[in-house]
Homo-oligomer: A and B are copies of this chain.
Amino acid sequence: MKVEIWSDITCPWCYVAQARFEKALAAFPHRGAVEVEHKSYELEPGRAKGDVEPIIKVLMKGKGWTEAQALANERNLTAQSAGEGLPYVAGRDHGSTFHIHRLLHFAKARGKQHELVKALYRANFGEEGSLFADDERLVALAAEVGLDADAARKVLAAPDAYADDVRADEREGAQLGVAGVPFFVFDRQYGVSGAQSTEAFTRALTQAWGDRSPLQAVEGADDAHVCGPDGCPVPH
């Protein structure tokens, strides 16, 4: 069974939902047969890479809030995260995530995507310091999960590296109806939108597992040629 998760590293509800999904998965009897893949989604696709602002300012501008209201919002997120045992430092930098998604595709190609997602969430929401000030913080996190620092640095410095993969994920998400994140897709059959409860994720896993169906054969020649362990039979 395959679970695909569309998310953005600047999305606090993705951070919370990821923890809830992992709780559900850890208790799922068939967890060994569940493959998880992270897909790119940008909350702010229009923002340029160098355009970094404190989230408090972004909230004040975007929502027309006072500084006190924006801070209250952040403290609320601290409380929600604490409910899942997650650290959340109120106030953080906000910026474009396109290069971070590119880095996540590089990590995926090296089997470290999940580890890097977790490290990025923790660094962005749970630790002091900006994820957006320069690329070196990202390089350090990549190295921390076992990726080659130089290779990661090169990926970040090359704007086209893995850019097509990010765009392909975004296109695929749009086709599936992903209009906000987090969005969890189970075997391309079931969708779970938002930071649902651990119980809802358990329900989704159970339902999708129960509904796994064998592939249907498309009408064709029964004796179409196949190569297998015994070789490649050839018509006489």
Contacts and interface: CB of A to CB of B under 8 A. Distances in A.
Interface of A: 2, 8, 10-14, 16, 33, 35, 43-44, 59, 62-63, 73, 76-77, 80, 105-106, 108-109, 111, 164-165, 168, 172, 175-177, 179-182, 185-197, 200, 203-204, 207-208, 213-221, 223-232, 234-235
Contact of A217 (B181, B191, B230): B191
Contact of A218 (B44, B203, B223): B203
A164 B110 CA distance: 9
Contacts of A179: 228
A218 B234 contact: no
Contacts of A80: 234-235
Contact of A193 (B109, B226, B230): B226
Given A168-B35, A192-B218, A227 B197 contact: no
A195 B12 contact: no
A186 B80 CA distance: 41
A8 B217 CA distance: 21
B229 A175 contact: no
A180 B215 contact: no
26 contacts: A8-B227, A11-B232, A12-B232, A13-B225, A14-B227, A35-B168, A43-B229, A43-B231, A59-B231, A73-B234, A76-B235, A105-B109, A177-B215, A180-B226, A180-B229, A189-B213, A190-B218, A192-B220, A193-B217, A193-B224, A194-B220, A194-B225, A195-B224, A196-B221, A197-B221, A200-B221
A218 B182 CA distance: 14
A185 B215 contact: yes
